[in-house]
Chains A and B, each alone.
Chain A
Amino acid sequence: MQQEVVLALLAKEPSHGYQLRARLREALGPLGDAMNDGQVYVTLARLERAGQVTSARAAGTPDRPDRKTYALTADGQQRVAEWLAEVSWPKPDLAEFHLKLLAAAAAGLADPLGIIDAQRRELLRRLRDAGRAAMAEPDGSEAALLLEGVVLRLQADLRWLEACERSWTGRKVRP
């Protein structure tokens, strides 16, 4: 779990770890299923050691054991502010696939069109999974917006594969 995300979730008010986890589940929906429940606690512990988070133990009751409340330190607050101001965007790694096609063709090891087909099938299955997950989300769901992004991205990748297919069709590949 990215440290800045956990810090930012604490920016509004101090929280228990389980509250952060629930907040993440809501925001990510089915995409958060892969997230390990322990990850939030591991991240909190690291942030505490780095002096960006402090914790206080709240007294528990017999049916609810002691629970730690986490809060941001001044350092933590500054890191959140820097993170929000930072412009970053994930970079898709298209070069690897591009070079795979070139290498396969040059060495005569595999048909680039076969590689493109296999890749397209995988992306279409992912698109189906993401599309179905989006359909299953209720109106106003936060996760639906995230799923929309996943769907649009996969569609863009599929369009690039079409361009690859057009380019490699009819190109001379060493036998």
Chain B
Amino acid sequence: MNADPESMVRARGLRKEYGKEESLIRAVDRVDLDVEAGETVAVMGPSGCGKSTLLHLLGGLDRATAGELWLAGRRIDRMSERGMAALRRDAVGFVFQAFHLMDELTAAENIELPVLLAGRSPRAARRRAAELLERVDLADRARHLPSQLSGGQRQRVAIARALANRPQVVLADEPTGNLDSEATLDVLRLFESLHEAGQTLVIVTHDSRIAATADRLIAMRDGAFIDETRLTGGTSGRLGALLNLDS
């Protein structure tokens, strides 16, 4: 199979199985995927369709049973544990539904942590955290603990943390699943600004509204991709055509 050399993420025949024989479950079943640099791709499907497992495979949080996987041209499915750890730290940014911030660290410290773990100086880490808090519009919350922040603010801190080491790809798993509609809009606006800045983004969600913000939407069922829709280009008509206003 030919793979596009420009792909930021590339998977061929990716498979993840749990259990054996009778009870064998194919959580991810022969998935081929190409995500171009700077592209936002949404994978949509009901819970249990394998989309979270797929995201974990793409980000090196879990290993595939079979198949080939590249990130920014690097083959990662056969990487050592050490290599995988470095990859998760430097090349991939994760955003989860439940935020997964460290409760005992402030917003700024949560963002500094991955920078420090990557071996950079405390000074560089502080500078990067300040810069990112500015970017997610939370500069005035730097010293707050997660428990002192709203859900939407926590998710913005989590997104800032995901960006800490300038990852090649950001992987988001139901990023707005725990948020009300206003906070959801904030997160979507933030993703939009990342997209404009050229960040490659893969979002898995069951929510059509989130999925519809992507350039490309892939529908997933029972571990496999079943349909793909390119959303860029928009509708042929004007927005007003969404209502019966021109009659």
Binding site for B on A (CB under 8 A): 28, 30-36, 90, 117, 120-122, 124-135, 148, 150-151, 154-155, 158-159
The yes or no answer to B124 lying at the interface (CB within 8 A) is: no
Identify which of residues 170-198 in chain B touch chain A, using a CB-to-CB cut-off of 8 Å: 181, 185, 188-189, 192
A124–B181 touching, CB < 8 Å: no
Contacts of B185 in A (CB 8 A): 134-135
B235 to chain A, nearest CB (A): 5
Task: Say whether A35 contacts B240, CB under 8 Å.
Answer: yes
Contact call A130/B229, Cβ cutoff below 8 A: no
Residues 229-242 of chain B, each 1 if its beta carbon lies under 8 Å from chain A, else 0: 10101110011111
Contacts of A35 in B (CB 8 A): 240, 245-246
Q: How large is the interface on B (under 10, 10 to 19, 20 to 34, 35 or more residues)?
A: 20 to 34
Q: Check A32–B240 contact: CB distance below 8 A.
A: yes
Instruction: Name the residue on B nearest A133 (C-beta).
Output: B239
B234 and A128 form a contact (CB under 8 A): yes
Contacting pair A129 B208 (CB below 8 A):
no
- Residues on the B chain within 8 Å of A130, using CB: 239, 242
CB <8 Å contact, B231 and A125: yes
Residues in A neighbouring B229, C-beta threshold 8 A: 120-121, 124-125
Q: Is the interface of A mostly helix, strand, loop or mixed?
A: helix
Nearest-CB residue, chain A, relative to B243: A31
Which residues from chain A contact B245 at a C-beta distance below 8 Å?
28, 31-32, 34-35
Contacting residues, chain A, for B227 (C-beta < 8 A): 117, 120
B 44-69 contacts with A by CB, 8 A:
none
Q: By the criterion CB–CB under 8 Å, are A124 and B231 in contact?
A: yes
On chain B, the residues within 8 Å of A32 by CB distance are 240, 245
Min distance, Cβ B198 to any Cβ of chain A, angstroms = 18
Quick check: is B213 within 8 A (CB to CB) of the other chain? yes
* A148→B181 contact, CB < 8 A: yes
Q: Within the assembled complex, what's the spacing in Å between the Cα atoms of A133 and B238?
A: 11
A25 and B77 CA atoms in complex are apart in Å by 54
| Complex CA–CA separation, A34 to B239 (angstroms) | 7
List, in ascending order, chain B residues with CB within 8 A of A159's CB.
Answer: 208
Q: Choose from A28, A125, A135 the contact partner of B235 (Cβ within 8 Å).
A: A125
Q: Given A34-B245, A35-B245, are A128 and B231 also a contact pair (CB < 8 Å)?
A: yes
